[in-house]
Structure 1
Amino acid sequence: MSMPPLGRHRAPSIAALVSAALLLTLAACGSATDDGGSAADPAAETRTVEADNGRVEVPTDPQRVVTIGNTTLPFIDLGGEPVGVTEVGASELSLIPEEQKAAFEAATNLGSSGDQIDLEKLAGLKPDLILAQFPAGEFEQVEKRLESIAPTVFWGLDVEWKAFADGLAEAGNVTDGLGEQKAAFEEQVAEMKQKYSGMIKNTRFVHVDRWDSSDPGTFSISDFGCVEIAMDDLGLDFPRAAEGDDPLGWTSLPFEQISSLAEYDVITYPVDVDGHPAEAFAPVVATNTWKALPTVNSGRALGLFCPGNNSYGPVLRYLDSLDRALASLPAKE
């Protein structure tokens, strides 16, 4: 092939150069990535999060999230809509708002718990992210199989609830919901600390509880659950176990020791959404010893509603209940 004379070359126009550059840019943006996705496809973009199972590469904007174990209700509380879930007890579902219950019921039921999950059904959902919290020993049994289906982010049961909410929101890309809830929580805590500053300094509280699994004729002085919010965030003076010791709530006390609660200024105990003593706790308030307590007779035994303490939505509802209860306290004589 003969080359054209140099003198006959023409410089390309500016418009031609711009058009060529634009075509190259568009071609690069639409090119396939190594994993078969499109570089412009948000689902193909990833980021790294950290959890109890290490550093995990997850989709930047996951579209098909499966929640296993204790991640389900907190993820829904943050505004997430899982495509698959494990079972949640009817008593827990009865405590959440209707729209959250609808989001749960719209998802595919994958099994009763993390170690009983239907892996074939899970794979059929084609999830792009799995969020899980259940006992670590059970997770180890299914870890590899879960990770072969989709990126899996796992937390053990001992993770602090605020850190859990942060990690769940980051991994599931529901940080907008988290930001709104955090702001509401911080505002309410600040208001209550100011409103009840004198009470916080001068009042001795005790939280008593009882569970379905408790032995007949027993109760506990509890230092875990929602009472942790009252202690750690508001600064209310509740008894708690010494560092390194088992929680106080693990020790069952006979009904005969109910009279010892008289040494406290205020008693708190669990109630249901309608304000009635929680079913498991009802035998305590039915005892003559409880009824004879000066604290009870003076209106200083407060029923508190705690729908949960592993995400901000339920904690905010607990703070509302605590605020109303504290506001109802009669002045000390």
Structure 2
Amino acid sequence: MSIRRPSVLVGALALAVALTGCGSSSDGDKGETGSDSAKSGSKTRVFEADNGKITIPAAPQRIVATGYAVPALIEADAPLVGISSWKRGEPLMSDEDLATYKKLTKVAGELATETNYEAIAAAEPDLIVIGVPAPVLADVDVKRLETIAPVVAIGPTVPSAWRDLSRKQADAAGALGEFDTRKAAYEAKAAELAAKYKDVLPQLKAGHVGAYGEVAKGNFQREFSGSWGSNIIEDLGAVYYGKVKEPGPGSKSVSEYPSIEELPESLGEADVITYSVQADGSVPEAVKYVLDSKLWANLPAVKAKKTFAIRYTEAASYGQAMKTLDAIDEALAPLLKQ
């Protein structure tokens, strides 16, 4: 129950989706309310999600997760009984998380429209966590799902918001313990790498070429601060300069699509340029289009040999981002020798 990202996500992600979570653990929130609680004997709490304030189990035991909630809740060791397919995230998973992912029953496909309501009902969840953007929620029959179990929608907004969103998803699942462990590990490693590159990286003006330009239209994707290709490197002290000329909702607020002729204007001031590649290191067509351009060869950063291919730029959880940190460290190592 996910969407193609970001060619579809670019237009779908809405900045208005609130990132501030509720779901506190106060006694008042955990007090038993409603007939469901009376029947099950379990405590409930009110959780604020994209779809409103929802009464959910205080300690859910059987969870169905979809979209971006899938990797977050696998990492948090939540009690999952069904998930949507999330093939694009497989290369980002650790061996252990990937094994868990493969074993779990798939109750939905890659798209929100590929939801198997009968399979979800058969899984007998006591909570359903939908991890798709608010606009895409229209493709899901939420009312039907609500007849099965409480539904909380916690979907992506701007790319860098994965930190807050994955925490909200783990909070709803009652799985903040393992989440906090992974978060701490990431922050410790990011701090270590920030110290390693502190004498070179923060002093450079950086630009990023994303993987979702449209070659047929003759454009490329320039990513700015807070975008997919930049947000994790920024935790190491990188400074991505510039702003989107005509900001839009979601990803359109942190990336734009200039024509290839605008390449010198867009990235001419960059001291260093990073660009997205696939998990295996291969170059996506949209990025190859830029690298093959004569205009690319004339950019100051290219002439100075300060261009770096970055893998795993689509990380959307702390576990995934650990792989991104390793990839960044491997890619930027030459900076320490220059």
Category of TM-score, reference length = shorter chain: 0.7 to 0.9
1:248 shift after superposition? 6.6
1:230 shift after superposition? 2.9
1:297 shift after superposition? 4.3
Counterpart AA for 2:101: F
Aligned to 1:4: none
Task: Tell me: CA distance 1:178–1:240, structure 2 relative to 1, closer, same or farther (3 Å).
Answer: farther
CA contact (8 A) 1:85 1:109 kept: yes
CA contact (8 A) 1:272 1:305 kept: yes
Counterpart AA for 1:146: L
> How far apart, CA to CA, are the structure 2 residues paired with 1:122 and 1:163?
26
Per-residue displacement from partner, 1:133-154 (whole Å, max 9, x unpaired)? 2232443552222122111111
Aligned to 2:65: 67
Aligned to 2:95: 98
Task: Tell me: CA distance 1:243–1:230, structure 2 relative to 1, closer, same or farther (3 Å).
Answer: farther
Task: Decide which of 255, 258, 262 is 1:253's aligned counterpart.
Answer: 258
Aligned to 1:150: 149
Q: Give SS of 1:57's match.
A: strand
The structure whose RCO (Cα within 8 Å, separation 6+) is larger is 2
Counterpart AA for 1:241: K
Instruction: Summarize the alignment of residues 25-174 of structure 1 with structure 2, pairs less than 5 Å apart.
Output: 35-37=38-40, 44-80=42-78, 82-89=80-87, 91-112=88-109, 113-139=111-137, 142-158=141-157, 160-174=161-175
Counterpart AA for 2:279: V
- 1:296 matched to 2:291: no
Per-residue displacement from partner, 1:97-139 (whole Å, max 9, x unpaired)? 3332332232232233334412222112111110002232443
Per-residue displacement from partner, 1:198-233 (whole Å, max 9, x unpaired)? 3344211111123275535421211211412333x3
Aligned to 1:286: 292
Alpha-carbon RMSD across the aligned residues, in angstroms, is: 2.9
CA contact (8 A) 1:56 1:153 kept: yes
CA contact (8 A) 1:307 1:317 kept: no
For normalisation by structure 2, the TM-score amounts to 0.75
> How far apart, CA to CA, are the structure 2 residues paired with 1:170 and 1:300?
41
> How far apart, CA to CA, are the structure 2 residues paired with 1:284 and 1:190?
32
Task: Tell me: CA distance 1:94–1:235, structure 2 relative to 1, closer, same or farther (3 Å).
Answer: closer
CA contact (8 A) 2:44 2:56 kept: yes
> How far apart, CA to CA, are the structure 1 residues paired with 2:37 and 2:80?
28
Counterpart AA for 1:181: R
Runs of 4+ in 1 over 4 A off after TM superposition: none
Aligned to 1:229: 232
> How far apart, CA to CA, are the structure 2 residues paired with 1:152 and 1:108?
19
Q: Which runs of 5+ in 2 are unaligned?
A: 1-35
- 1:316 matched to 2:322: yes
CA contact (8 A) 1:207 1:221 kept: yes
CA contact (8 A) 1:240 1:248 kept: no
CA contact (8 A) 1:226 1:309 kept: no
CA contact (8 A) 2:92 2:323 kept: no
Per-residue displacement from partner, 1:241-263 (whole Å, max 9, x unpaired)? 26983347653233333344343
Q: Which runs of 5+ in 1 are unaligned?
A: 1-32
- The percent of aligned pairs where both chains have the same amino acid is 29
> How far apart, CA to CA, are the structure 2 residues paired with 1:167 and 1:244?
30
Aligned to 1:19: none
Per-residue displacement from partner, 1:158-208 (whole Å, max 9, x unpaired)? 272222121111111222221111111221232233332233442111111
Q: Give SS of 2:38's match.
A: coil
1:268 shift after superposition? 0.3
> How far apart, CA to CA, are the structure 2 residues paired with 1:287 and 1:147?
52
CA contact (8 A) 1:92 1:307 kept: no
Instruction: Summarize the alignment of residues 158-237 of structure 1 with structure 2, pairs less than 5 Å apart.
Output: 158=157, 160-211=161-212, 213-223=214-224, 224-231=227-234, 233-237=235-239
> How far apart, CA to CA, are the structure 2 residues paired with 1:331 and 1:88?
39
For normalisation by structure 1, the TM-score amounts to 0.76
CA contact (8 A) 1:214 1:252 kept: no
1:156 shift after superposition? 3.6
Q: Give SS of 1:93's match.
A: helix
